[in-house]
Amino acid sequence: MAEIDIGDAVGAGFGLIRRRPLAVLAWGVLPMAVFLVVFLLFGGAVVAAIVNLARTSEGGAEPPPQQVLALIGSMFGAILILILVMVVVGAMLRAAVFRAELEPDNASAAYLRLGGQELWVFLSVFVMGLVIFAVQFALGIPIAIVAGVAAFSNIASGGEEAAVGAMASMIGLRIVGQILISAVGIWLWLRLCLGPVMSFRERQFRLFESWAITKGHAWRMFLVMLVAVLAIIALDIVVVGIGVVGVIATVAANAHMTAEAFFSQAPAVWMGALAPAIVLVFVLGVLLTGISTALIYAPVARMYRQLVPSADAAAAFA
């Protein structure tokens, strides 16, 4: 019977980073480039709208509707474009890691493609998200009802202590309930996470077939992903620390101006002054995104290979 090799699965991401460092960097560059382009397109308009609102509010005047609409429009446009593009980029990144693990010789363009396999990966991930959300939402309803009934019962008993007890019991039940809901969500993800890999490999929608394959393996899969997540958290701490120091240094270099005066300049001027921080954040974001992508999705593809020997054999001869 096929079994999960925890050490081999955990090492898949690190091994991929070692073998294909340039591809991993490309996986970080793509989403960060999207963020940078959106920032350059909309950042100046958003900041200008905020500065105009701040100037109007300083005099105690009510900001005119056009200023508020300008800010909302700029932010909404940036967020909408970012979401739409990142949905596509996310599918491309997942498929790229799956391709690197299952089709290692198909390495052109850092394994990045935009085609049918990416579409099937997106559809399987989308449906998986809907399933997990629906189950968690359904679980949340009885938990909220139980918490509300318990709180009402305590309040009905009367007295200030009863009100405090009601609040404490409601908070406690909500915390326990949220832990339960999160645990169920993680378990469902583990049982269905091979669906996107199967969809990529077989070039058709596969999600619920993952349920049968992962039966009896959820605990080992959880340990694999736990190690991957802990490694990413450690990387996050280091990267965020370096980024904070760099941003503080850049801000300190421009501390001779007030924030309003600084952002009142033309966008090209203040963006140029912030260029060192922007470049640093971009580079750190590339490293963090690329490495995190490899550490999360390579183990998923490796576990698929371990549990489906035919896929492992196909990868070996790819």
Where is pLDDT greater, at 69 or 36? 36
Q: What confidence category does residue 276 fall into, taking pLDDT thresholds of 50, 70 and 90?
A: confident
Query: Mean pLDDT over all residues of the chain?
Result: 83
DSSP state at residue 254: T
Render pLDDT for 9-54 as a digit per residue (tens, 0 to 9): 999 999 999 999 999 999 999 999 988 888 777 766 666 666 666 6
Per-residue burial over 21-59, b if 16 or more Cβ lie within 10 Å, else e, is eebbbbbbbbbbebbbebbeebbbbbbbbbbbbeeeeee
Instruction: Give the residue from 281, 219, 250 showing the smallest Cα distance to 9.
Output: 219
Report domain extents, the chain. 6-316
* In the predicted structure, residue 271 carries a pLDDT above the cut 70: no
Residues with Cβ < 8 Å from 70, sequence gap 6 or more? 45, 49, 52
Q: Residue 317's pLDDT is what? A: 45
Dihedral sign for Cα atoms in the order 156, 157, 160, 164:
negative
